[in-house]
Amino acid sequence: MKHLINLLNVPKIGRYRVRLLVSNMGVDINPFELSIKELCTVNGIDKKSAQQIKNYNDFDFGIQELEAASKFGISIVSFWDDHYPMLLKKIYNPPVILYCKGQPLQYKEDVVAIVGTRRFTPYGKSVTQRLTSNLISNNITIVSGLARGIDTIAHKTSVEGGGRTISVLGSGIDVIYPAENKKLTEEICEKGTLISEFKLGTKPDRGNFPQR
């Protein structure tokens, strides 16, 4: 796992190339020990990308990330793990790794995403609560983004109804945003899961939210 974490930390490589490389070479291979010629045998890895990988030397980063995750009860799931969500694998350019806290992810489960405005109307709140309650009563997992407004209502309704809910964060999993939802995240973890594709300590920058 530390090699994956370090690969994702290589400047200008990106998760698409990381996924290509590991899918071709295998998850147990240390890509930093490969030559430029060997790296370039992978379709999509050009000489410039291979050189970026060879130039990388911050190998302590992967170790420190794993140690910090373990300290805070965070598990890290890779694209090649058996319980990486099936539906997530089907999206364009899925995350290579997911930081997870709470209950283990399931490879296959019935899920519905509920997201909406931060400035909701009484009608919007009522509809969200009713829809969420109906879904969890049929053992459907609710996925949302922990944002203020409709997202928070969907999560809270799930928790209060004893349902499973997954919160997809736009920050590092150790950086709860908005801060007032910290207690809610603890309640989510009792039956559900917090997940983030961003490395630990990542702030909730504006560009992260469309990506998540």
- Of the candidates 137, 80, 77, 87, the one whose C-alpha atom is nearest the C-alpha of residue 108 is 87
83-140 residue pLDDT tens: 999 999 999 999 999 999 999 999 899 999 999 999 999 999 999 999 999 999 999 9
pLDDT digits (tens, 9 = 90+) for 148-204: 999 999 999 999 999 999 999 999 999 999 999 999 999 999 999 999 999 999 999
- Output the pLDDT for position 209: 79
Do 110 and 21 lie in a common domain?
A: no
Q: Please count the CA atoms within 13 angstroms of the CA of 63 that sit on its side-chain side.
A: 4
Residues spanned by the domain of 146: 101-211
CATH number at residue 35: 1.10.150
Q: For residue 98, list its beta bridge partners.
A: 77
Question: For 129-162, what is each residue's pLDDT tens digit?
Answer: 999 999 999 999 999 999 999 999 999 999 999 9
The SS3 call for residue 100 is strand
Q: Are 170 and 209 in contact (CB under 8 A)?
A: yes
Q: Smallest Cα–Cα separation from 106: which of 140, 152, 145? A: 140
- Whether 166 and 212 have beta carbons less than 8 Å apart is answered as no
109 with 202, same domain: the answer is yes
Q: CATH number of the domain at 138, please.
A: 3.40.50.450
Residue 49 has pLDDT above 80, yes or no: yes
pLDDT tens-digit map of 51-91: 999 999 999 999 999 999 999 999 999 999 999 999 999 99
Let me know whether 197 and 108 are in one domain: yes
Same domain, 58 and 121: no
* Residue 178 to residue 118: CA distance in whole angstroms: 12
pLDDT tier, 212 (very low <50, low <70, confident <90, very high otherwise): confident
User: Is the domain of 119 the same as that of 168?
Assistant: yes
Residue 113 · residue 147 · CB < 8 Å: no
Total of domains in the chain: 2
Residue 16's nearest CA partner among 80, 96, 90, 99 is 96
The encoded tokens of residue 79 equal 């694209």
